[in-house]
Amino acid sequence: MLFLFFVPIVTYSLTLQPVASRVESIPCPGPSVPPGQTCFTIVPYFPTQTIVVGHAPVSYALIGVGAKPFSDYYTVREANSTELFFVKGTSVVAAELLGFPSIEYNPQGVIEIQNVSITRGALGIVNFTAAVENVGSIPLAGVRVGFSIPGNGQNSTQPTGLSLIEQNSTKGGPTWITYAADTDGLCASSLAPGAECKSSFQALNETVTPGQTFGYTVQVAAGLGAQGVVYQHWFQGKWPTKNVTADWVNYFIQEVNANRTGPKLVEDQTLDAFAQTRFNTQVANYNVSNYGFQQDYAKAFPGSALQIGETTLWPGTQLPFEYASFLQESAPGHWSVLTDSSYTRFGYYIGYGPSIVVSQPCSVTEFPGNVNITALLASHGCQFHIEQAVWLVIEVGSCG
């Protein structure tokens, strides 16, 4: 006996809405513009939609099990460009505009992404680098590399190509994806088989906590013969921690020197040693500002009349120029010590230890010498807590 079983099928439809732009003539704005003068502007428009129909078993509709109704991506040609639509489940979740009349997405045996790294440079900026190799047998033209780094990009209502990162379009539905890249992201105008080019990107915005694991994508777009190829690879990394280094201090002192009216500060090893002594004393007595200065001075410079100024700083995660601006605005007493023209030498020491971290807002922005810090903060109603942090002790003087 023959038994026939009917498996219910659910029909789905998917709308692919391309977005394009065109030049339009409009009346020029402004009160001084002669009547009737026209200007040109680029405006987005929305060409004809493409409707994709898909089918899936009822088990997929109920519990997500079974064959998917749609592919993971679709392409739509618009003029001389191609729009790549990414699908998750039954919805378009992202789209990308690419400057090729046709593309092949993630082809095998054409491109490899190698030696991807994440480092923090001397100025504290996080750098992403990647090497791209042509592992195929045909030269690649106009090889462009982009990085999808969280928090780096611009807001736009129009996809603009391989220059920005994931951005929400106010029209057209999906999130339009573009990729962050230095300049225009060109890695090589031509890449021969077996050849390699390197690309990098500086993440000026940090939305990932230092030390946190995060995901990012590297994309390569290139011409292969008469069509384009787009290759994407997802990576997982750890956001670099922020540290005050010797390079950081050098850039900071450059900012100080740029604001001095007298001679520029130059580093002095005697003051470096004294700064280390001062750190050791202060970190053991962190609740009192500039604790034990006179005692340490008397031991380090017995019988001397040398004038020395001290600033004890906690730079946190700021870049050198940001911290210099912060001191000028919020800690003018500390800044005046560094810019005092009677001092010509400086020494410093970078240490790590307990620090009193003040919650904002707080009217206390700097501490005078030899005061109980927590008592001062409490008297002004400021909230604070203790945590391990980087200390930067700078001594300035005129010793030779």
Nearest by Cα to 167 from 151, 189, 191: 151
Write down the pLDDT at residue 216. 87
Residue-level length of the chain: 400
Residue 388 class from Cβ within 10 Å (0-12 exposed, 13-18 middle, 19+ buried)?
exposed
Write down the pLDDT at residue 177. 64
What is the CB neighbour count within 10 angstroms for residue 159?
23
The whole-angstrom separation of Cα 329 and Cα 333 is: 10
Q: Are 156 and 150 in contact (CB under 8 A)?
A: no
- Token pair listed for 110: 């054409």
- Token pair listed for 200: 């990098």
Helix (H) or strand (E) holding 106: none
Domain boundaries in the chain? Answer: 10-238, 246-397
The whole-angstrom separation of Cα 46 and Cα 65 is: 35
Write down the pLDDT at residue 29. 79
Give mean pLDDT in consecutive 10-residue pieces for the chain, a chain of 400 residues: 64 86 78 79 79 90 88 88 88 84 92 91 80 95 89 42 33 58 81 94 81 87 91 89 83 94 93 96 92 94 89 86 91 94 94 86 86 91 87 86
As a whole number of Å, the end-to-end CA separation of the chain is 107
- Token pair listed for 299: 């031991």
- Residues 237, 242, 247: CA angle, nearest 5 degrees: 120
The whole-angstrom separation of Cα 193 and Cα 111 is: 10
* Coil/strand/helix, residue 167: strand
- Token pair listed for 256: 């100080």
**CATH number, domain 246-397, options 3.90.1150.10, 3.40.33.10, 2.60.120.1440, 3.40.50.300:** 3.40.33.10
Write down the pLDDT at residue 123. 65
